[in-house]
Chains A and B, each alone.
Chain A
Amino acid sequence: MSQNNHPTTPRKSSTFDDYTLSEIRRAAATGIYDIRGGGTKRKVPHFDDLLFLGASMSRYPLEGYREKCSTEVVLGTRFAKKPITLKIPITIAGMSFGSLSGPAKEALGRGATLAGTSTTTGDGGMTEEERGHSETLVYQYLPSRYGMNPRDLRRADAIEIVIGQGAKPGGGGMLLGQKISDRVAEMRTLPKGIDQRSACRHPDWTGPDDLEIKILELREITGWEKPIYIKVGGARPYYDTALAVKAGADVVVLDGMQGGTAATQEVFIEHVGMPTLACIRPAVQALQDLGMHRKVQLIVSGGIRSGADVAKALALGADAVSIGTAALVALGDNDPKWEAEYQTLGTTAGSYDDWHEGRDPAGITTQDPELARRLDPVLAGRRLANYLKVMTLEAQTIARACGKSHVHNLEPEDLVALTIEASAMAGVPLAGTSWIPGKTGF
């Protein structure tokens, strides 16, 4: 504010910053909360806050590219007659047909199969595109049960019971009317054009004791062949993991708050749940306390981007990781080649998240046939396979440097933290010290 002839520089509030002001104006004008896709966008402690120590004198490294560092992972060794063996410890997370186009689902299947890993269905049922192109397909059993049927259950290689999602623990889903094509409406047994709500709870069980019996039913229907995964949102990882084990899970999937969603309230994505980094150690601790670590496998997801992230998650005790957002980017999501069109949508390549509107220029998060045709599933699948293989090579490189002949031999002792927050969350010492806040020293 200027006073007489002594003007001051206009000062913007850090509480009411430009984004916050625009959100208030948008809410006032439209009467609806902001809905978007993706995961949390604000900065939270993450894998970047950890570093590997590598080997020098006290550890002996393996020779890069010559000495073997295995990456194979076997999932479902507890009860399933047919456990899943993957070549790499990176899987593709559940993403629905409806949210994604048919060619996008096909591309995910092609890419994962080329790289030797699995894909996962989503809310909306199993499509021929993904079953046909996925060597290993995990069938999600969701609260909405859209498209759920026993024939697809039997065609799956594993069953993932979805209880929560990192982007919105405790929340259901919403596929807005503009994405409900004839095919999506038919698969979901709902009229075209209406908002399709997905319940936040399973309709026919109400807790872990019931879930145990539900799992018995699923196993009886499928002849006890398929691994049963239980997916939880990262909120109370110690207890949720322990209860999943108690209910009979073969595999626990733990999705941190950086995990994406097709569409939900912005306030939910940014303010509910815990960072992936903070979720892993409590979940591993639960498995260790129950004597089930490595017997019930742990898959961690939520913001995995590189081989370094993979290696860090495995070092903290995960058996595998899962990627969603990164897989979409590998296919071509938010590619700068569509920048002009992103601009017309009022955004920019790298920031586009209004997937629920169905106008994705990259043809991935849409049901518009013209846009969907833009994605070449063969090429996009190849890109995904390349990305998965690069991540695996990166993780192997780090593991060899730490002296490990299998990526699963990475351990917390190989890590230090750059910040006190990350040190406390990951349970590894602050770099240059032996201090883990809350655990050692003062």
Chain B
Amino acid sequence: MPVIDLATTPLRELNQALHDAATPGHNDTEFEVLNPKGAHAVAVGVAAPVDIQVKGSVGYYCGGMNEAASITVHGSAGPGVAENMMSGTVVIKGDASQYAGATGRGGLLVIEGNAASRCGISMKGINIVVRGNIGHMSAFMAQSGNLVVLGDAGEALGDSLYEARLFVRGAVKSLGADCVAKEMRPEHLQLLESLLAEAGITDVKPQEFTRYGSARTLYNFNIDNADAY
């Protein structure tokens, strides 16, 4: 298993080695990254089903545009972790800063601590599970996918939401424009159960969550909704 120490190896070499794993003739399936010390763009654009263990905290955009890889950060993550992820898994053992999972189109992002503001902003199909709390303006303009929050949500949750589903177990400080609480039907309980299982969470029940989604009143412009724009 290649062990890449960012204290002695440039970031470029790390990412190139991870990109090379997607090309024929490269058989490494497990990587360990040491001493990230808040480095930006760690393990970005990986397009192979490899396992990457990052031993420490990372800066901006760790796991950005991930495809197929399983990335675990044994520390906290800076802004934009797993942004625009396509598939695969990113697990953050600590906390995540702003824009976690922004514009993500697929895959699973698990944050075992808290996430800051704009978690899941503009999400487009990604599944995000946060064990702790999330900050304000989370899921702003979220298009599709699922955001599961075991703790509380900050102000303006789901503002200008499209078709993403939000499940929050704790309190929501306020809902954004066009975001409303919705009935939790059997299919939603089933979906939530599978998302929690996928995230390795076994100590909470789907029934403890409230579902939020779009009221769809802003889907086509109407002057009588001008106050909401």
Q: Which residues of B contact A205 (CB under 8 A)?
A: 79-80, 99
Beta-carbon contact of B67 and A150 below 8 Å = yes
Q: Within the assembled complex, what's the spacing in Å between the Cα atoms of A32 and B11?
A: 51
Residues of chain A within 8 A (CB-CB) of B59 are 213
| B161 smallest CB distance to A (angstroms) | 12
Q: Are A220 and B80 in contact (CB under 8 A)?
A: no
CA of A193 to CA of B60 in the docked complex: distance in angstroms?
Answer: 36
Q: Which residues of B contact A210 (CB under 8 A)?
A: 60, 79
A200-234 with Cβ < 8 A to chain B: 203-205, 210, 213-214, 216-217, 220-224
Taking the closest CB of chain A, its distance from the CB of B219, in whole angstroms, is: 4
- 1/0 contact string of A131-152 vs chain B (CB within 8 Å): 0000000000000110011110
For the residues of B in contact with A, the DSSP-based class is: loop
> Which A residues are in CB contact (< 8 Å) with B16?
223
CB contact under 8 A between A150 and B60, given known A203-B122, A220-B15: no
Asked if B21 is an interface residue, CB under 8 A from chain A, the answer is no
Cβ contacts under 8 Å, A216 to chain B: 40-41
The reply to whether B86 and A150 form a contact with Cβ atoms under 8 Å apart is: yes
Question: Could you say which of B67, B105, B140 contacts A203, with CB atoms under 8 Å apart?
Answer: B140
Whether A150 contacts B12 in the complex (CB less than 8 A), given A194-B220, A217-B60, comes out as no
User: Complex: how many Å from CA A224 to CA B45?
Assistant: 12
Q: How far is the CB of B66 from chain A (nearest CB, A)?
A: 9
Instruction: Specify which chain A residues have a CB less than 8 angstroms from the CB of B221 in the assembled complex.
Output: 32, 174, 176, 195
Q: Min CB distance, A141 to chain B, in Å?
A: 10
Asked whether, in the complex, the Cβ of A203 is within 8 Å of the Cβ of B102, the reply is yes
Cα separation A430 to B139 with both chains bound (whole Å)? 54
A64 within 8 A of partner (CB): no
User: Given A194-B220, A195-B221, A223-B19, does the pair A203, B118 have CB atoms closer than 8 Å?
Assistant: yes
> When the two chains form their complex, are residues A149 and B65 in contact, meaning their CB atoms are under 8 A apart?
yes
Contact residues of B between 72 and 119, Cβ < 8 Å to A: 79-80, 83-84, 86, 98-99, 102-103, 105, 118
Q: Do the beta carbons of A194 and B121 come within 8 Å of each other?
A: no
Interface flag for B131 (CB, 8 Å): no
| B124 partner residues in chain A, CB cutoff 8 A | 145, 189
Q: Is B143 an interface residue (CB 8 A)?
A: yes
| Chain B 33-51 interface 0/1 with A at a Cβ cutoff of 8 Å (1 = within) | 0000000110011010000
A177–B162 alpha-carbon span in the complex (Å): 14
Q: Are A213 and B61 in contact (CB under 8 A)?
A: yes
Q: A204 contacts B121, CB within 8 Å?
A: yes
Most buried by B among A150, A174, A195, A199: A150
Q: Are B102 and A220 in contact (CB under 8 A)?
A: no
Check A217 against B41 for contact (C-beta < 8 Å). yes
Report the separation of the CA atoms of residues A190 and B141 in the bound assembly, to the nearest whole angstrom: 11
Q: Please tell me if the beta carbons of A148 and B103 are within 8 angstroms of each other in the complex.
A: yes
When distances are taken between beta carbons in the complex, the residues of chain A under 8 Å from B19 are 223
The reply to whether B44 and A148 contact each other, CB–CB distance below 8 Å, is: no
B64 interfacial contact with A, CB 8 Å: yes
A-contact 0/1 string along B2-27, CB 8 Å cutoff:
00000000011001100100000000
Interface set, chain A 74-99, CB cutoff 8 A to B: none
Contacts of A222 in B (CB 8 A): 45
Known contacts A203-B99, A220-B12, A223-B16: A32-B64 contact under CB 8 Å: no
A32 / chain B contacts, CB cutoff of 8 Å: 221, 223
The verdict on A191 contacting chain B, using a C-beta distance below 8 Å, is: yes
Whether the Cβ atoms of A204 and B44 lie closer than 8 Å is no
Contact yes or no, A204 B220, CB < 8 A: no
CB of B65 within 8 A of CB of A204, answer no
- The chain A residue with its CB closest to the CB of B102 is A204
A149 contacts B79, CB within 8 Å?
A: no
A151 to B61, CA, bound (A): 17
Interface string of A148-166 (1 = CB under 8 A from B): 1111010000000000000
Q: Which residue of chain A has the shortest Cβ distance to B162 in the bound complex? A: A190
| 23 sampled A-B residue pairs with Cβ under 8 A | A145-B122, A145-B124, A153-B65, A174-B221, A177-B220, A189-B143, A190-B143, A190-B163, A191-B219, A194-B219, A197-B160, A199-B141, A203-B122, A203-B141, A204-B80, A204-B103, A204-B118, A213-B60, A214-B80, A217-B40, A217-B64, A220-B15, A223-B19
Q: 5 tightest CB-CB pairs across the interface, nearest first?
A: A221-B45, A31-B223, A204-B99, A204-B102, A150-B65
Q: Interface of B with A (CB < 8 Å)?
A: 11-12, 15-16, 19, 40-41, 44-45, 47, 59-61, 64-65, 67, 79-80, 83-84, 86, 98-99, 102-103, 105, 118, 121-122, 124-125, 140-141, 143-144, 160, 162-163, 219-221, 223-224
10 additional A-B pairs beyond A203-B122, A204-B121, A224-B12, beta carbons within 8 Å, are A144-B122, A177-B219, A190-B143, A195-B219, A203-B103, A203-B121, A204-B98, A217-B80, A221-B45, A221-B64
